Structure 1
Amino acid sequence: MENNYEDIFAHVLPAIESKRNEFVVYQYDTVTEKDIWKYCVTKKWRKKDVASLPLYQIINDILTISPAEFMTFEQIDNQRTSNWFSDINHEELRMLLNPGLEEK
């Protein structure tokens, strides 16, 4: 199945590049082709079998992504996957979550 996604990605890459270029015009310079593809697979086609979708529908779905809906997805995904406490150690986390406990 993964190989199928790679084949489809390679086939529709010109449409994805076009969408990326549109995002650059709107000054979303950090968006990559892989980000757009990830959005389509995880959001647009979440409950669909991409291999069974007609090519025109895949390309239409890519070309109709609005910058607003893409950036909303990115923000939610980043909040979901980020580890807010990665910069603190176990002891600092314990003190943060239990401020009333004194160190012994």
Structure 2
Amino acid sequence: MTTLLISLDLDPTRAEEVAGLLRGEMAPWMRQQAGYLTSHWFLADDRRHCTITVEFEDRAQASDVARATLELPANTARSWNVDRVEIVDDLGLAPRPGLHLGG
């Protein structure tokens, strides 16, 4: 499994429009991508940033979506723009539920 991290810059004055686009267009598009497993969408309190984590079956599929996302042209008239896209690895540093660390 491979995780893709996507950071979007948002126009906070257009929060309802952004939420509609995320729910109605971006999330459905993401779910249709080859190898898609799951995703989590996080909106900052100030509504200026959205962070998306997407899990894919393998690195090649995550790379394809990363490339497609990065190819989106910036558009200052749009309510959102891609800030950053990275393929990331879980370092396993956060304890899992039910896991008790020695002590």
Q: Is TM (by shorter chain) over 0.5? A: no
The structure whose residues are more often strand, as a share, is 2
TM-score by length of 2: 0.33
- Judging by fraction of residues, say which structure has more helix: 1
Task: Work out which structure has the larger RCO, using CA pairs closer than 8 Å and 6 or more positions apart in sequence.
Answer: 2
